[in-house]
Structures are given as C-alpha cells and as structure tokens.
Amino acid sequence: MRNTIRFKSWGSVINGSFIVHPFGYVELGLDFPRPSPSLQMHIFIPFSFVPPFSLLIFFVLLPSLGELRAVRRLRD
C-alpha cells in the first residue's frame, strides 16, 4: 500500500510516498522539484534502523500538521 506525503522545505514543495514492505523495510520515495529537471530518489530503510516511534512522527504527525495549516489558511 502506497501512502503519499507532501511537505514544504526551503521554499519548495517536496512530494513523496512511502511503502511499508512485509519483508522488513520501508521504501521512501521523494520527488524534489528543484534543480530542474526534478530529482527523484528512493531510499530503502530496514526496520532495524528505524525506531517505530520516529516512523509515527514522520509519516503520521508531520503530514497531518501540514494539512491542518492548509485548512486554517482556507478558513481565513
């Protein structure tokens, strides 16, 4: 199952996706819009190097905070 993330960094939007594979690793794909042409990167991270709590923060909390900021801007 592919989950998408989108966050803003250094003035540009970075799109990404992650897949939790049953074989014991997380595949993280990032698409950087700059430099032109865009740079795409796939990182494979074994579960043994990633504490579960940090995965929760990175993939659940940060994207939801970004969505909350967008909703607040739409309300204003």
Tally the domains of the chain: 1
Total residues belonging to the chain = 76
Q: Are 21 and 1 in contact (CB under 8 A)?
A: no
Confidence of residue 76 (pLDDT cuts 50, 70, 90): very low
Higher pLDDT, 25 or 33: 25
Cβ neighbourhood burial of 38 (10 Å; 0-12, 13-18, 19+): exposed
Q: Is the pLDDT of residue 7 over 70?
A: no
Which structural domain, as residue segments, surrounds residue 50? 2-75
65, two tokens = 């905070």
Q: Is the pLDDT of residue 53 over 50?
A: yes
